[in-house]
Amino acid sequence: MNAPTTDHLPVVVIGAGPVGLAAAAHLTERGIQPLVLEAGPSAGTAVRAWAHVRLFSSWAEVVDPAAEKLLAPTGWVRPDPATYPTGGDWAERYLQPLADLLGDRVRYATTVTGVARAGRDRIVDSGRDEQPFNVHITRADGTEERITARAVIDAAGTWSGPGPIGADGLPALGEKAAAERVTYRVPDLRNPAVRARYAGRRTAVVGSGASAFTTLAHFADLAEEEAGTHAVWILRRGITGSTYGGGAADELPARGALGLRAKAAVENGHASAVTGFRTEAVERDSDGRPVLVAEDGRRLDAVDEVIVLTGFRPDLSFLAEVRLGLDERLQAPTALAPLIDPNAHSCGTVYPHGVKELSHPEKGVYLVGMKSYGRAPTFLAMTGYEQVRSIAASIAGDQEAAERVELTLPETGVCGGAGLFDDPDAARSSEGGGCCSAPATLRIGIGAPASSGGC
């Protein structure tokens, strides 16, 4: 007797962001019905939340090929490929037109609350792989529904889970109580109300990635116009040759330039760096201003505001009934984690990878995009597009295409360990060998090499 087929069921894609919509485009190209479930009111809801931030990837690098092919008959033309969109541009000029084209295959205001095998909790083995998935959803009006799917591609991202100030991964003592003076996003200083919050004031900026660089660069501009504006840059590690990224050696020039702008902010006195500072508590001075206290007892002078940019965490709560294979540190798929581990690599680009690296013990479930990186930083849209191309090919049964690479990624020019805890052997600069020299052609399926690096 033949096992029941689920081929007539849709593939549920969670999230109508860049990678989720690219997944829908690749599935459509393969003749597979996608159903995209988006918690927000429009395409690219998370992207719109940072609409004011300019990407360091150009239009040539943030439009998925299958999506562009799908859009072409409508008269859509990709913006100048050499220019750099803001988050708002990306959402309005690409993501929303793509979602509109997909029509009722995209549902908004729909929150996924659970994913499971039909009739099987995570304990049950019998007949598990033959069962379709049940995807539980809640609409904005509170009504609930269960959708049956042949596979689930989770492209929900990590925007809803920002990291805290606390160096141990938990909120610092007093962090929640100081909530009115703490934010976890890059501020939009073009907004008059936001600008007034920071102009002429001292602000602690906690973090060492692209978001922190962006904020430091914006604060340097503000300091040129508003006297007294100053950023106190809090780093948990020391400053090394790789702290500011790849600079002129970065094959994404805008990414390299962003790090150099942050460096200039420090060198020009608009920001002061405090290194090796692992925050344990947020106290208050007599005026109610936050005072950051480190694990080693150091206390900084009071600041007016705190901007926390310490990365993001994936929400895995609604996947509790499926069997995921996740790295114990990064919460990324176990085969992908060694390639992106920031304890070992500081490269901004991971080797292209696909269905093999993204598969789990639960067949038919995939975490893609930012969520596939778990807590690791520096994810590129191009990486996500290659992920979903490979996965769509695998779902369609085209294993040759699933295992083939159709992407060459740029290098950062920065290699070696990230130096997360001031270890001089780990905090290497770009001198010496490293992980960034990705070959032009590389198999990502069976036998793919475990080499490195990431946004």
Q: Quick check: 132 and 149 in contact, CB under 8 A?
A: yes
- How confident is the model over 398-418, as a mean pLDDT? 68
Give this prediction's pTM: 0.86
- How confident is the model over 223-248, as a mean pLDDT? 83
Dihedral of alpha carbons 112, 113, 117, 118, sign:
negative
**Residue 418 pLDDT > 80:** no
CA neighbor of 177 nearest in space, from 288, 18, 330, 294 = 288
How does DSSP assign 146-200, residue by residue?
Answer: EEEESEEEE---STT-B--S-TTSSPPBTTTTTGGGEE-S---TTSHHHHHHHTT
Angstrom CA distances, 256 to 230, 353, 355, 366, stand at 23, 24, 30, 31
- How confident is the model over 277-293, as a mean pLDDT? 97
**Residue 407 pLDDT > 80:** no
Q: Quick check: 333 and 360 in contact, CB under 8 A?
A: yes
Q: Quick check: 175 and 282 in contact, CB under 8 A?
A: yes
DSSP 3-state of 308: strand
305-308 and 202-206: which strand pairing?
A: parallel
Radius of gyration (C-alpha) of the chain in whole angstroms: 22
Q: How does the average pLDDT of the chain come out, rounded?
A: 87
34-37 and 202-206: which strand pairing?
A: unpaired
**Residue 246 pLDDT > 80:** no
Say what the pLDDT of residue 160 is: 94
| 237 pLDDT tier (thresholds 50, 70, 90) | confident
User: For the stretch 301-325, what's the b/e string if a residue is b when 16 or more beta carbons lie within 10 angstroms of its beta carbon?
Assistant: ebbbbbbbbbbbbbbbebbebbebe
- How confident is the model over 53-69, as a mean pLDDT? 93
Q: Which residues 6+ apart lie within 8 Å of 117 measured at CB? A: 124, 128, 131, 132, 133, 134, 321, 322, 362
**Residue 63 pLDDT > 50:** yes
Q: Which residues 6+ apart lie within 8 Å of 390 measured at CB? A: 353, 354, 355, 358, 401, 402, 403, 444, 445
Say what the pLDDT of residue 250 is: 63
Q: Quick check: 434 and 415 in contact, CB under 8 A?
A: yes
Q: In what order do the strands lie in the sheet with 305-308?
A: 182-183, 305-308, 202-206, 230-234, 271-274
| 252 pLDDT tier (thresholds 50, 70, 90) | low
Dihedral of alpha carbons 180, 160, 211, 24, sign:
negative
